[in-house]
Amino acid sequence: MAHYCFLNSLNIVEQVIVGKDEDDLVDLPEEFESWEDFYGDLHKKKCLRTSYNTYRNQHIYFNESGDPVETDTPEKSFRGNYAGIGFFYDEENNVFIPPQPFESWNLNETIWDWESPVPYPDDGQYYEWSEKVENWILIP
C-alpha cells in the first residue's frame, strides 16, 4: 500500500489517495512507467507518491499499536513530509511543505516545517500563538 497525491497547476495538493505499492509493478499497465504516471493519467492531474511515515524530514517507524517508536535520518525520509490537502510541492527541493500557519513564522529548510519566531515555552503550561503580539499567550 502506498499513498499518492494530486496537485493543481500551482503545485498545491488537492487530494491524497491510497494506491498500489510503488514496487508492485505486476498489475501496472505496460504503457506506464510508474503508479504515479498511471494515477496521474487516470485523474488527469500531476500525481506524486508521498510517504505516510515522513514528518519534518524524518522517517518514522511505528509499532504494532501505531505508536511512533523510532525515527531515522533525513536521508531515509521521502519528500520532507507526508502530503496533506493544501500542502505545497516544492519541485526544486522535492519536498511537501505544509501551509504557513502564521505570517510571522519562518520555514525551516532542514525539517521542511514552519517555526515560530519565539520558541514555545517549556514550563508545562499551555499556550497559543498570538500573531498580534508575535508571541505565545498563556491559555488560562
Proportion of the chain in helix, strand, coil states, percent, rounded to 5: 10, 35, 55
pLDDT at res. 72 = 65
Can you tell me the distance from the alpha carbon of 68 to that of 6, in angstroms, rounded to the nearest whole number?
Answer: 27
Domain residue extents for the chain: 2-99, 100-140
pLDDT at res. 24 = 93
End-to-end Cα separation, the chain, in angstroms? 44
Mean pLDDT by 10 residues, the chain (140 residues): 97 98 94 97 97 91 82 77 98 98 98 98 98 97
Residue type present at position 8:
N
Count CA atoms closer than 13 A to 1's CA, side-chain side: 4
